[in-house]
Amino acid sequence: MSPVSRGFRGRRGTSAGQESRLPPGQYVTEGFPVLSAGPTPHTPLQEWTFSITAGGQPKKSWTWPEFQALAAPTITADIHCVTRWSKLGTRWQGVSVDTLLDQAGYDAPYVMAFCDGGYTANLSIADVTGGQAWVAFGYAGEPLEPEHGGPARLLVPHLYFWKSAKWVRGLDLRQTDEPGFWETYGYNMYGDPWKEQRYAGD
């Protein structure tokens, strides 16, 4: 169907079919860069839990075996880093945030993802429900590597990848939208790659 042949390669190795999947200002990478603001934590699985809290108060928590027993679909998604690389067709396995929130119950417009190492990312409930966000523990058919957020990370592919908090340990339900780690350094509170919402004011 495409007027351009399959073998066509545009600038920076981007084929015609990939072009329409690339948000403005992004380029395609085949590698998988590691971007971490601090050292990689190594929490033993026996100590790992995932928690839904509300204003810091515990609501529901899963141990690693309990978490592994939840439905965990395979997700294929394009991911977009604010530093301008995009990686197309990444394949993950994870638990939908819908599953977690439905079991915990929730009545709040925002969440703050919290992580081993202290990283945080703010998100609206609307962006982590409706089949748009997962807590991923598998990547490309393997356990998620520690450098990429293993044992588990948030995956919110429709927003810039800084929202996909690595080493995530829970979501805190919030009544107000407060900045997370990068947002306090001037990154956008929302982060839609298709609107190029890189920095505050974009």
Contacts with ligand MTE by CB under 6 A: the residue count is 18
Judge whether 2 and 10 are in contact, CB under 8 Å: no
Residues 6+ apart with CB under 8 A from 72: 93, 94, 95, 137, 138
* Preceding amide of 3 cis, omega within 30: no
**Where do contacts with Mo ion occur on this chain (CB under 5 A)?**
35, 81-82, 162
Q: Does 105 bind ligand MTE (CB under 6 A)?
A: no
Q: Nearer to ligand MTE by C-beta: 34 or 69?
A: 34
Q: Does 110 bind ligand MTE (CB under 6 A)?
A: no
Q: Does 126 bind ligand MTE (CB under 6 A)?
A: no
Judge whether 95 and 135 are in contact, CB under 8 Å: yes
Q: Does 80 bind ligand MTE (CB under 6 A)?
A: no
Q: Nearer to ligand MTE by C-beta: 33 or 73?
A: 33
Burial per residue of 58-68, b for 16 or more beta-carbon CB atoms within 10 angstroms, e otherwise? ebbebebeebe
HSE-CB of 84 using CA atoms within 13 angstroms: 5
Q: Nearer to ligand MTE by C-beta: 36 or 63?
A: 36
- Minimum gap (Å) between residue 168 Cβ and ligand MTE: 7
Alpha-carbon gap, residue 131 to 56, rounded angstroms: 25
With contacts defined by CB under 6 A, name the span among 52-60, 99-107, 159-167, 188-196 that binds ligand MTE.
159-167
Q: Does 139 bind ligand MTE (CB under 6 A)?
A: no
Alpha-carbon gap, residue 22 to 197, rounded angstroms: 15
Q: Does 162 bind ligand MTE (CB under 6 A)?
A: yes
- Minimum gap (Å) between residue 21 Cβ and ligand MTE: 18
Residue 81: name the closest of 17, 156, 145 by CA.
156
Q: Which residues bind ligand MTE (CB under 6 A)?
A: 32-37, 81, 115, 117, 119, 148-149, 161-162, 164-167
